[in-house]
Amino acid sequence: MKDRNYPGAPSEKEIAEKVKQYKQQMHENNNKETLMQLLNCVDLTSLNVSDTESKIAEMTEKVNDFNNHFPNYKNVAAICVYPALVPTVLDCLELEDVDIAAVGACFPASQSFLSVKTVECEMAVEKGADEIDIVISVGKFLEEDYQTVSDEILTIRHAIGDAFLKVILETGELKTPDNIYIASILAMESGADFIKTSTGKTAVSATPEAVYVMCCAIRDYYKQTGEMVGLKPAGGISTTDDALLYYTIVKDVLGEEWLSNDFFRLGASRLANALLTDISKFDGKNETIKYF
């Protein structure tokens, strides 16, 4: 990492106290406007071994038709799929304000050759992806081979040009606050536009503890560089309460500037419907919405 004077990860005591505080405070943000804002931060995601072109086309058509059903709402931020399905989304998507995101670099394990990872990311962009989500080489990181981890991110960063780069830390495998903090700084210094918690493919996905540490790292990086980097909790996020908790953490640590989808995303497949259901309750409706 570059020779900057970062304060380091918060203590486990501080993390526990803060997360307890946020769980108590998060319902203060439970209003229609915030839930609509959270919906606009969702990366609508399908990353299943059974994904087909027809399934992804159907999901994309629902995004296209969203405002016909919900005319006063903002749409999701992006559609996130495997690289081979990017052309399907590109062919079907009719909206300019919804991005196409692809997981890359041999997602979810990142256990391949750098040349293979790089070509996959390049091809995804060539086929129409606006954003690329990659996983760090967790094994290399745990061996403290930080230079290799950084070099891989930098190589992919250069290869994808102007596409957004989201770097997944797989925080459940990093385990400690120090590891999560170091990985966050490393990813940002290596060109990440966003740092992301998880793939959703491991036993432990997004947690408020990990998100708090990542927010502290983003704040410290911003203080050192003046550069805003985004945050994407992902994996296991399915309820409105999940989304509100992460929103509350980001609002407190980073501030209002980070609460648009330019700097805050939620990677999820079920969350959008949960948010739509809970938004409708503010209009006096009591029905479960299963639009997506």
- Residue 172 has φ and ψ, to the nearest 5°, of -65, -25
Residues 6+ apart with CB under 8 A from 34: 244, 247
Instruction: Return d(Cα 124, Cα 48) in angstroms, integer.
Output: 17
Residues 6+ apart with CB under 8 A from 213: 9, 10, 15, 177, 180, 181, 184
The answer to whether 107 and 199 have CB atoms below 8 angstroms apart is: yes
**Burial state string for 147-165 with b = 16 or more CB within 10 A and e = fewer than 16:** eebbebbebbbebbeebbb
The answer to whether 110 and 137 have CB atoms below 8 angstroms apart is: yes
Instruction: Return d(Cα 258, Cα 252) in angstroms, integer.
Output: 10
Instruction: Return d(Cα 128, Cα 263) in angstroms, integer.
Output: 21
Residue 37 lies in a domain: yes
Closest C-alpha to 103, from 120, 115, 119, 89: 120
Residues 6+ apart with CB under 8 A from 3: none
Distance of CA 37 to the CA centre of its chain: 15
Residue 58 lies in a domain: yes
Residues in the chain: 292
Residue 288 lies in a domain: no
pLDDT tens-digit profile, the chain (292 residues): 666 889 999 999 999 999 999 999 999 999 999 999 999 999 999 999 999 999 999 999 999 999 999 999 999 999 999 999 999 999 999 999 999 999 999 999 999 999 999 999 999 999 999 999 999 999 999 999 999 999 999 999 999 999 999 999 999 999 999 999 999 999 999 999 999 999 999 999 999 999 999 999 999 999 999 999 999 999 999 999 999 999 999 999 999 999 999 999 999 989 999 999 999 999 999 899 999 9
Residue 4 lies in a domain: no
Within the chain, residue ranges assigned H as helices are 12-25, 32-39, 53-64, 66-69, 86-92, 114-126, 138-142, 146-159, 171-174, 177-189, 208-225, 240-253, 271-281
Instruction: Return d(Cα 141, Cα 136) in angstroms, integer.
Output: 8
- The CATH number of residue 113's host domain is 3.20.20.70
Q: Quote the pLDDT of residue 1.
A: 64
Residue 98 lies in a domain: yes
Which amino acid belongs to residue 214?
A: M
Residue 34 lies in a domain: yes
The catalytic site residues sit at 133, 196, 232
How many domains, in total, are found in the chain? 1
The answer to whether 156 and 165 have CB atoms below 8 angstroms apart is: yes
Gyration radius (Cα) of the chain, Å: 18
Residue 291 lies in a domain: no
User: Which range marks the domain in which residue 169 is found?
Assistant: 12-281
> 221 is written with which tokens?
């990086």
- Residue 166 has φ and ψ, to the nearest 5°, of -105, 125
Q: What is the pTM of this model?
A: 0.96
Place of tokens 């931060």: 41
Q: Quote the pLDDT of residue 4.
A: 81
Place of tokens 């805050």: 264
CA distances from 118 to 106, 132, 139, 201 (A): 9, 11, 18, 21
Residue 3 lies in a domain: no
